[in-house]
Structure 1
Amino acid sequence: MGGYVAGPTDPAFAATPYRDLEAYDLAEFLTSWEELHAKALASMRQRIHPTAFIHPQAIVGDDVIIGPNVRIHEFSTVRKGSILCAGVSVGYGCEVTQAYIGDRTILGHRIALGRTIVGADAHLSANVTVAAISMWSPHMHTPQREIFFRTPDGLYRCQTPRFGALIGDGVQTGSNISLGPGIAIGRNCRIAGGVTLAGRAIPASHVITAPHTADTHLHPRRR
Structure 2
Amino acid sequence: MIINLALISQPTAPNAQLAISKLLSRLEVTTPKIGYIASAPDPKQEYYRQTQQIYSALNAEMDVYLELESEFSQQALDALLTCDVIHLSGGDTQRFLQAIKQRQLIEPLNTFAVNGGAIVGVSAGAILLTPSIASAALCGDEVKGPQEELNALNLVPFQFVPHFESIQLSRGTFNQQLKSLTHAVYLCGDNDALLLADKKIAIYGAPRLIDFDAK
Query: TM-score over 0.5 for the alignment?
Result: no
Considering fraction of residues, name the structure with more helix.
2
Tell which structure's C-alpha radius of gyration is larger. 1
TM-score under structure 2 normalisation? Answer: 0.30
